[in-house]
Structure 1
Amino acid sequence: MDISVVIPLLNEDESIKELYDWIARVMQSNQFLYEIIFIDDGSTDASWDIITTLHQNHPEVKGIQFQRNYGKSQALDAGFELAQGAVVITMDADLQDSPDEIPELYRLITEEQFDLISGWKKKRYDNVVTKNIPSKLFNWAARKTSGLSLHDFNCGLKAYKNEVVKTVKVSGEMHRYIPVLAKNEGFNAIGEKVVQHQARKYGVTKFGIDRFINGFLDLITISFLSKFGKRPMHFFGLWGTAMFLFGFLSAFYIGAMKLYRVANHIKTILITSNPWFYIALTAMVLGTLLFLAGFLGELIIKSNGHQKHYKIKSRLTE
């Protein structure tokens, strides 16, 4: 199979059929062997009914229905697990991503030997205040933190080698950072393509201020995981040891000074009256806790496999 198109969606019943027809036209005109995988992330409208009808009439359509809304990352993870195409393309279901980009994305992966191509919506048709400006700030911070020179981490239109989606594990709300996750797994041939962005035709955007805030929190998380995700002891152990040594040496100094004053009949005060005693004690306790956190992190990494944080209600694959 040439291409798998993975489409996560939430309450997009007005656009699903139109999107399918558009994708099918592009695929057939280019003679691609393809499958379309819709992941219904807990829709409350008629989205799943439409996907079921499409599956019954078109065998290349497959579907996964979640028990409830788990998020885009979980939807992509389920779609990646099912995808069989040599090239996997992701896009949103709201018709703002153009299927006409698929042939060139496929060529870049198969002929130019890229591992991943990320779309760049250079000209956007979103609200300037609620989406454009926050998106620019977010992408600037993501570039500085990740070291990847991509202009649009949020773009849902991306293309991957099948090997990439089978290797990268997407959880939480890390779908924005799949290029970073791929880079961390050793896939360095990451490129970018300017893609057409279209104004929303149906429904309303799912973007809110909470997603903007969560994006920056996830950025901090992915930055930490990139450096210490597989060796947490290198971070927690280092700082834990440093803090413990600082506290121990401070306590030793306080004790030595107390003994010196007593030996020389110099007026002294109780050690517990010295504020440095509590600073030293706190540093030793925090240092021990940080060291234990690193140790437990190492144990968790070695004992836990990849766990799925979603429940599938229905599946249309045959």
Structure 2
Amino acid sequence: MMNASTQDSAEPDAIQLSVVIPLYNEEESVGPLIAALQQTFAEEPSRFEIILVDDGSVDQTYPKATAAADASGLPIHIVSLYRNFGQTAAMQAGIDAAQGRLIATLDGDLQNDPADIPKMVAHLEANQLDLLVGRRKKRQDGLLLRLVPSWIANRLIAKVTGVQIRDYGCSLKIYRASVIKQVKLIGEMHRFIPAWVAAVTHPSRISEIEVRHRARQFGESKYGISRTIRVVLDLLSVLFFMKYRARPGHFFGSVGIFVGAIGMAMLGSLGVAKFAFGQDIGTRPMLLIGTIATLSSLQLICFGVMAEMLSRIYHQSSSQPGYFTRHHHMTPAANSDAAVAVDGNASGSSSTPCDYLLPLPQPPSETTRERRAG
């Protein structure tokens, strides 16, 4: 079995699978979790790595994780964040650190079964998928606090985004690294990862498969019914960025024209009543509403033009292209010195430095203190 020392000396390209697990106050779960991973990958022939991300836990998660990792003999990399940044940021930190060709993510509360990972990897490879999402079978959550809000959120997200996944909330997923590394996770985007991935690859390369789901053994759930409200708000952002990220002027302009048409119709009808029939319109509420709607229309259209200018400036200055390539093929007559990118962009899909590991402030040097004293 491969140990940490052999993994560190290997080439990054040799790693086939990276398992990313965010942890937050899971001191009781981390030991059994590593034991379950050890049992799952004990006879796994492919090279793999396990990345545990301690998301600023305030209990004994980190020391217990390091102790269990050292005793396991598995190639485990533990990333500790300075404070609690949230599950999305922790997941991004793990993806940034991952070097595998495939990346698996799962929760650290033992509700996801690591034994499902090999089956999911085989299914993803056999069906040429870029993302395989776990669909929890016989969920062990409370009916009111988890199942009902989750059911509503899943149907709403699938309807709005067009990505037909029935269990968006399952953290057990398998990604092709060259695809997920094109997506930068911020805020609370982990709920909508299939939708964001659909902006990089075709939805036909995203699928789901049934996985086991177990009741939480230790600690308390980090989610409640208030999550539904946040999902609705985040969903509006997802919808905007998926359809209008490169053309925000179309969104604000369309809304502005619609509101302006209503306002002009109101003012037009009042004009007819005033000049054709001699009616007094000065005290009618429609006059105020129509005026506000017309002015709001002009503001929305102007805002759309400004947003369009900002979008063009961003895309021109950003190193991220407006497209993503899957394969490059060159005939022998082509330039032999050009790099051929397989399963990713031509520039490669190497991980970027983690944005969430902020350097601690350093104490001033003796020279600096002497200058301040002087």
State the secondary structure of the residue aligned to 2:104: strand
Corresponding position of 1:6: 20
Displacement after TM superposition at 1:254 (Å): 5.8
Counterpart check, 1:197 vs 2:207: no
Displacement after TM superposition at 1:314 (Å): 7.8
Equivalent residue letter for 1:231: R
Paired positions, count: 308
Equivalent residue letter for 1:138: A
Give the direction of change, closer, same or farther, for the CA distance of 1:285–1:169 in structure 2 (3 Å limit).
same
Counterpart check, 1:96 vs 2:106: no
Contact 1:27/1:33 (<8 A) preserved: no
Displacement after TM superposition at 1:226 (Å): 2.3
Corresponding position of 1:162: 177
Aligned-partner Cα distance in 2 for 1:102–1:257: 71
Aligned-partner Cα distance in 2 for 1:17–1:313: 27
Give the direction of change, closer, same or farther, for the CA distance of 1:274–1:210 in structure 2 (3 Å limit).
closer
CA deviation profile, 1:137-190 (whole Å, cap 9, x unmatched): 222222222222222110010001001211122222121111111112233201
State the secondary structure of the residue aligned to 1:209: coil
Contact 1:118/1:158 (<8 A) preserved: yes
State the secondary structure of the residue aligned to 2:137: coil
Displacement after TM superposition at 1:272 (Å): 4.7
Counterpart check, 1:294 vs 2:308: no
Corresponding position of 1:49: 63
Corresponding position of 2:254: 238
Counterpart check, 1:187 vs 2:202: yes
Corresponding position of 2:126: 111
Counterpart check, 1:21 vs 2:31: no
Corresponding position of 1:312: 357
Equivalent residue letter for 1:93: G
Among 209, 213, 224, the residue aligned to 2:225: 209
Displacement after TM superposition at 1:30 (Å): 1.5
Corresponding position of 2:83: 68
CA deviation profile, 1:77-127 (whole Å, cap 9, x unmatched): 222222111110000001111111111111122232111100011211122
Among 284, 288, 293, the residue aligned to 1:278: 288
Give the direction of change, closer, same or farther, for the CA distance of 1:309–1:207 in structure 2 (3 Å limit).
farther
* Identity value in percent: 32
Contact 1:2/1:34 (<8 A) preserved: yes
Aligned-partner Cα distance in 2 for 1:291–1:55: 57
Aligned-partner Cα distance in 2 for 1:309–1:277: 55
Aligned-partner Cα distance in 1 for 2:97–2:109: 22
Displacement after TM superposition at 1:208 (Å): 1.4
Aligned-partner Cα distance in 2 for 1:207–1:107: 31
Equivalent residue letter for 2:241: L
State the secondary structure of the residue aligned to 1:283: helix
Q: Provide the TM-score with structure 1 as the length reference.
A: 0.85
Contact 1:116/1:158 (<8 A) preserved: yes
Corresponding position of 1:141: 156
Contact 1:10/1:41 (<8 A) preserved: yes
* Aligned residues: CA RMSD: 2.9
State the secondary structure of the residue aligned to 2:235: helix
Displacement after TM superposition at 1:309 (Å): 11
Equivalent residue letter for 2:300: L
Aligned-partner Cα distance in 2 for 1:29–1:35: 14
Displacement after TM superposition at 1:220 (Å): 3.1
Aligned-partner Cα distance in 2 for 1:206–1:285: 44
Aligned-partner Cα distance in 1 for 2:96–2:167: 25
Displacement after TM superposition at 1:255 (Å): 6.3
Displacement after TM superposition at 1:274 (Å): 5.6
Corresponding position of 1:222: 238
Aligned-partner Cα distance in 1 for 2:312–2:120: 37
State the secondary structure of the residue aligned to 1:312: coil
Aligned-partner Cα distance in 1 for 2:185–2:296: 32
Give the unaligned 5+ runs of structure 2: 1-14, 321-352, 361-374
Give the unaligned 5+ runs of structure 1: none
Equivalent residue letter for 1:75: A
Aligned-partner Cα distance in 2 for 1:285–1:125: 53
